[in-house]
Amino acid sequence: MNTLSYGLLSFLSRSSCSGYDLMLQIQPFWPAKHSQIYPLLAQLEKDEYVQYEHISQSDKPDKKVYSLTDKGIEALREWLSEPASDPVMRDDLYLKVFCMSLVDSNTARNLFINRLQHYQQKKLKFDNKLPQLQCMTGLPPDEIPSFDSPFFGAYLLLQKAISVNDANIKWCEWALEQIASPAAEKRDSVE
């Protein structure tokens, strides 16, 4: 039982769904391809953490809809009682920043301009998801779902994603201010 296996059980605790569906849902939280997920689901089924029902579809390919067994729920409960492991972040921008002085400031600036765009695109996505989530809760706007709400977890994680992303946007903008472009320097001295 590795972390991804628990992740799959975790999403199945919210609603039964297919391996394909799980793959799409888990992406933002624990990147994984279908080639990794399908064999794990088969193993989880063999070990009786999940069970599946074969669903015939006419318009789309048939699918296996997985759901948690009691053993699966118990496994999740035990997993939740252990503290979370330290998060792991891998970002090659960190590594590039360390040797940035090897290139001119325009090349260095481009690294931050590209990354800033990345964070801004993420911001757009989050800004769309927030009212969407609010709507699903059925609560009046600006009211926070409670611990019992099935949307509580998603709400917490969206808030985290937004605040960290905003910090990253500010960081990129600040970094770009620190790296004056040669063009800007020329402009400054002319003006």
Partner DNA sequence: GGAGGCATGTAACACGTTACATGATTTG
Partner DNA sequence: CAAATCATGTAACGTGTTACATGCCTCC
Task: Catalog residues that contact DNA under the rule CB under 7 A.
Answer: 2-4, 18-21, 24, 31-36, 38-39, 41-42, 57-64, 88, 90
In whole angstroms, the minimum distance from the beta carbon of 24 to DNA comes to: 6
Q: Which of residues 15-34 bind a copy of itself (CB under 8 A)?
A: 26, 29-31
Give the largest Cα separation in the chain, rounded. Answer: 74
- When CB distances are held under 5 to 8 angstroms depending on the partner's kind, the choice from DNA, a copy of itself, none that residue 19 binds is DNA
136 interacts with a copy of itself by CB under 8 A? no
Integer Cα distance of 91 and 93 in angstroms = 5
Q: Which of residues 33-72 bind a copy of itself (CB under 8 A)?
A: none
Q: Which is nearer to DNA, 59 or 148 (CB)?
A: 59
167 interacts with a copy of itself by CB under 8 A? yes
Find the binder of a copy of itself among 140, 178, 189, 191 (CB under 8 A): 178
**Residue 14, CA distances (Å) to 11, 99, 116, 145, 171 in order:** 5, 45, 34, 16, 35
Give the containing element (helix H, strand E) for 51: strand 50-55
Integer Cα distance of 153 and 50 in angstroms = 22
Nearby residues of 21 by Cβ (< 8 Å), 6 or more positions away: none
Integer Cα distance of 48 and 41 in angstroms = 10
Q: Which is nearer to a copy of itself, 60 or 90 (CB)?
A: 90
Stretch that binds a copy of itself, among 35-43, 48-56, 90-98, 131-139 (CB under 8 A): 90-98
1 interacts with a copy of itself by CB under 8 A? no
In whole angstroms, the minimum distance from the beta carbon of 40 to DNA comes to: 9
Q: Which is nearer to DNA, 85 or 189 (CB)?
A: 85
SS3 56: coil
Q: Which is nearer to DNA, 64 or 109 (CB)?
A: 64
Q: Which two tokens stand for residue 32?
A: 């994984």
- When CB distances are held under 5 to 8 angstroms depending on the partner's kind, the choice from a copy of itself, DNA, none that residue 101 binds is a copy of itself
Integer Cα distance of 17 and 59 in angstroms = 18
